[in-house]
A and B are shown apart, each in its own frame.
Chain A
Amino acid sequence: MNATEAEQFERIVLPHVDAAYNLARWLAGNDHDAEDIVQEACVRAFRFIGGHRGGEGRAWLLTIVRNTAFSWLKKNRPHAVVSIDDDELAQIEDQTVTANGVFSADKNSLRAALEALPLEFREAIVLRELEGLSYKEIADVAEVPVGTVMSRLARARRQLQNHFAQKEGES
């Protein structure tokens, strides 16, 4: 460990702590676990900082946060990590929702809707809609092909649309 590594860490990792926390918080579901995950991820990031090959620090850090979060979840909440079947694409086409194109939702119900999504879908939505990552970046972070990123986003959004359509029906 030397000053150069610490400087690199300061330059590459620290600007993206909010993004790291946001992803960890959405994956873990509470503040306390999210903080633990980010701290552990940052220690790992520091260890791997020599392997950072230039480019955007954010996607690099988010990959480490993602891996840390998934190992943490597998260990502490195995039931939360249920692999989704990425081939069930046909399913999304069956359910045609005739939403009126308007979604009225307050922050709490939006959060609840996102939290109800399966882990991989929630991850895709958070990285795309909240962090603004490209499909390629999401594919790198989640270690899946770009096509899978697109289908996960499509299915996640479909579930959210259904969720709000149902709410609207209830009210």
Chain B
Amino acid sequence: MNCAEIRLLLHAHADSELDAANSLELERHLKTCAACAAENKSLHALRATLRKGDLNFRAPDSLKKDLRQFVGDLSGEKNPRKEFDPQWQWLWKFLAFGATAFALLAVFLRPLGISEHNQMLDQIVASHVRSLQVEHLTDVVSSDQHTVKPWFDGKLDFAPDVKDFAAQGFPLVGGRLDYLDGRAVAALVYRHNKHFINVFVWPAADALKPATEMRRGYAIINCATNGLHYCLVSDMNLTDLGELAGCLGR
């Protein structure tokens, strides 16, 4: 990286939008280049000044009141609230009891894994977003599965299954080494029309049927088969992403 590139990437770095490999290179550069280091310091000072500047405008209360009124009018005029019919009251009591019991169960029996699972999803989305920035989508660019698969040899403690699904509309773009949850994983990159799909692969003990989720607008599908866990993430819709999950699971 030269100084001109560094000057631009400093911003992505300051905004926590730069991938790990480029961040390392950038930090190494800053240790040896006084001019870029000064620029970085100036950038951070500017950001701190803006943050402390209390520059946000808040909506006037009158506007908020108008908007609440707007909603009230819309929901009120077409759907006048109905009085509860007494003979249905037992049903409402029953439902209320059920809801309370369910809420209590959810609180007390909530699997401890949920927050970890959420963190994992955040990591996956962050990894996907980072990979689409600053040209770090792939370490090995090839649509040939026989080029991509051997590339992972010696870089991982398992051998990911690499297949091209061009015939099904998902051509292989390449592969990349990534880190998730403290372990090295294989990231396979597929394309579908204009969308990129990251498929993170790591060893799995148990098989898992495809489980779909949305996170910050991204579609995520987790599935496991033949000892490998596949996590697909993309900005495509879940149905199309499901097709690729189907291909991988075969």
Contacts and interface: CB of A to CB of B under 8 A. Distances in A.
A167 interface: no
Contacts of B53: 105, 107, 110-111
Nearest to B64: A17
B74 interface: yes
Interface string B28-71: 00000001001101111111011101111111100110111011
Contacts of B58: 18, 21-22
Contacts of A100: 42
Contacts, number: 142
Interface string A141-152: 000001100110
Contact of B214 (A1, A17, A55, A90): A55
Interface string A87-103: 00110110011111111
A134 B129 contact: yes
Interface size grouping (class) on chain A: 35 or more
A35 B66 CA distance: 11
A70 interface: no
Contact of A35 (B38, B51, B63): B63
Contacts of A34: 57
Interface stretch (B8-16, B92-100, B155-163, B224-232): B8-16
Interface of B is mostly: helix
B78 interface: yes
Interface in A54-111: 54-56, 59, 89-90, 92-93, 96-103, 105, 107, 110-111
Given A35-B63, A55-B216, A150-B133, 10 more contacts: A2-B78, A5-B74, A6-B75, A21-B59, A25-B57, A39-B63, A93-B4, A98-B38, A102-B45, A103-B46
Interface of B: 3-4, 7-8, 10-12, 15, 17, 35, 38-39, 41-47, 49-51, 53-60, 63-64, 66-68, 70-71, 74-75, 78-79, 129, 132-133, 214, 216-217
18 contacts: A1-B74, A3-B75, A3-B78, A6-B75, A18-B59, A21-B57, A22-B57, A35-B60, A46-B74, A97-B42, A102-B45, A105-B49, A110-B49, A111-B53, A129-B51, A134-B129, A136-B129, A146-B133
